[in-house]
Structure 1
Amino acid sequence: MMKKHWNEIQPIDHYSVKTNGIVHEYDKKVITLLYQPLIGAACYSLYMTLFTEVEENKLWSGESTHYHLMNFLSLNLQSIYEARLKLEGIGLLKTFQKTEDDKRIFIYELQRPLSPDEFFYDGMLNVYLYRKIGKSHFTRLKHFFTDSKINQGQFSEITRSFQDVYTSTSEQNVDFLHHEANIASKTDEKSQYIYQAKGKGVELDDVNFDFSLLLSGLSESMVPRKAFTNKVKETVLKLSYLYGIDPIQMKNVILSSLTADDSIDIEVLRKSARDWYQLQTGDVLPELTPHLSTKGNEKEKNEPLTKEGELIEYLESTSPKDVLSDISNGGKPSKADMQAVEEVLMTQKLSIGVMNVLIQYVLLKTDMKLTKGYMEKIASHWKRKKVTTAKEAMELAKKEHKQYLEWAQGKDGKQPSGSRRKPIRTEKLPDWFTEEDKSSKVKPSKDQSNLNFEEEKRKLEEELKNFRK
């Protein structure tokens, strides 16, 4: 499981999209046919959606919120966050962030993909793609991105030069015109010319590969230091990551790729690394998989979540739209309900988990009506209390239940009624906040409290089963 998004991104956070140069239709074909099998449909949809937000022949989009992305892609924030990380890792996206006046703003800079020849000669991405789609489809894709080659050696070039075709006439004010043209060509500090950038592909760092250890095992007489060009170092990093070759093992791979003039042949280097890997593992090629996260997440993975933990994870990772739909047994939320949720979410800047707890609480306490004024009042209170997680919201809702009940009664202008009308529909709602109105003021005994706790626990477990269905 990847790192949770809760502290990294929220629906109310704003973003703008920038393209690192013009992205052409041909680049889209490369992303669709070569990158999509590696990154998956969610990443592909996110990239294309962000790209579409930038107008044609422009570099920047307008500003939007991540809530817009959640609705547009029909994905929860955790899925969008994970898709973003995968795009960053494979070199298709760079992310920048700043915070001003408690407002978090992101810039998503889309990167051009590698050209087809760069991809197929990458030495890492092409191997992962071959492993993913197989030889037959890989060969078909190679033919799609290649064309016949004409032998131009049999032809003589007869192209005329600029001076052969054009002449420059003399003007009296040529110096003045030259100066004026140069001044007029300059851009101001707030603008730039639209440009076409080159795809950089996957950028690997050398944090997990010790070059000093590798070089210490290779004396200057064996391999000159000048042989380690930037291209060679980049290839060594890729091969180390791809095949799991450590610096000591890499020494023999490099020695087998030396040429007569003491340089390193990159193609031979790749073949030597591939031969080493096949000796270790057979003919099974390595597969591209998302990187497993920190020890804390490994602990989460090994230890099953409690029932309450499952509910909290559901509330933290599900969009408000889907929560409303689950409550209505799969029914589509009304436009008025979604507008109310959207306005409260944006004005109070609540996290996704807190908003979902608020939706469930308000629906239960207002006879399944999503009352906007009541929502805003509780949301404002939670914001002042600095509530940021679903668990904190649940605990505060229980603690302040009587106060919130008075707010609801004050809005309706009615006295508490022991026989409140039940909703017609049978919505699925967790019972973490259920408190039946008591006509009697008698304080329950300790034994009765224990019985109530067990009953609430049983209801919660039953509701979680319903949620998982």
Structure 2
Amino acid sequence: MMQNDGTIEFHAKAGVFVQSNTPITLTDLDRAFDLYTPFIGATGYALYHMLVRELPYNTRLDAREDHNFILDSLNVSLPDFVKVRRRLEAVGLLTTLYTEDALGEIYTYQLFAPLDVDSFFKEKLLAGLLFKYVGEERYLTLQKRYATQGQPNVKGDNISAKFLQVFKHDTGTSLPTFEAKASHGKIEIEDNFNFENFSGLVRGTTIEKLAQHRDFLVSMHVIYGVDEVTLAGYTSQAISLDTHDVDEKILQQVMRQNRTTVVAEPEVSQPVQQNRSREMLQLVQDAKTLAPNAFIEDVKFKKGGGFVTRNEYYFISKMIKDVRLKAEVVNMLVWYELGKRNRDTVNVDTAETIANSWLKMHVNSAEAALDAIEKYQPSRPTKRNYTKKVTRVEPQMPSDTPKSKPATSVDEVAEALAELKKLNIKTKN
């Protein structure tokens, strides 16, 4: 982007994103046509009207249009477009924001409704411009057109009913009061993320409702490594039409479908121990610069493939949003499970146990996490020697098999031999 002599020059292929904090109605457009067109010009009004019409459809940054559709629709050149746009900026109908992402340059055009009639004619600069361009006669005509509707003069005594004449005031009624809960500490926002700017870019809801989801939204920024404009585009897709509130489940689905591996701006790295191997130094650098969703995908890719499970997404979100671990610490925790322990997926129970111990140890950097991993020795169950008492079990004969008789005594044998002799049967001793 170049800026010279008050003009901004850019390529027509730069992306366009349109946003408005309040609905702009047909009445607003009529008022803009009557009061602003004389000094912003017909093309200026056409551009304003066109951008207002694009508001419901211009939500996805990854599928954005470029400036060519504006230039072709209005049949204007790029320099003329810049001049017309600057007129809208000067009179408060438009604010232009500039940023870049992985797809290139983005110009966000934030639209504002024209001033109400009373404020417009009290604003000497705008009223003076209108008077200059339309002359006194037309100026007075417009004043009358937007003045009191109906009869010019109203006479008579005011006999309207008062509130207490119609409604009974119950002094015993106790209105419910809302006490703001004490904050347990907000998620630390990186220097390159401004929650206020992000809130101003989200369409379809209010800043107050966004503030209720602040921790969740900031965790989405940390986990997926997206900037304010990109996150605002995704959040606008997750606004409920009936409540105008953020649906966190839908936003998570949108973020997963459009997840990116954009590398975050590297922070100033802390001094690391010189005895680290090159592989470990690279691991620490990746943990500090990659968003958690990109880091876990990178680890699985290096292991030969695999996808990130629902439980793993939930675990990462919980560690950042609820436990409030830094992103680089969560990355090292993921690496310990998938790389160090060579698991296919993160064992949530083990990882949560380690995270709990790291909180007590105040582990707040990738280097400190690596130190903790190298010192950590998972407890193993103590081996016990069990002496088994060997008992010999005699096999049981089937129930229909006759049981063996007890041993015969000597007297019984002699008696049997005597009986045999009587029968003249020869026997051997």
Give the TM-score normalised by the residue count of structure 2.
0.36
As a proportion of its length, which structure holds more helix? 1
- Kindly indicate whether structure 1 or structure 2 has the higher relative contact order, using CA contacts under 8 Å at least 6 residues apart: 1
The structure that has the greater radius of gyration is 2
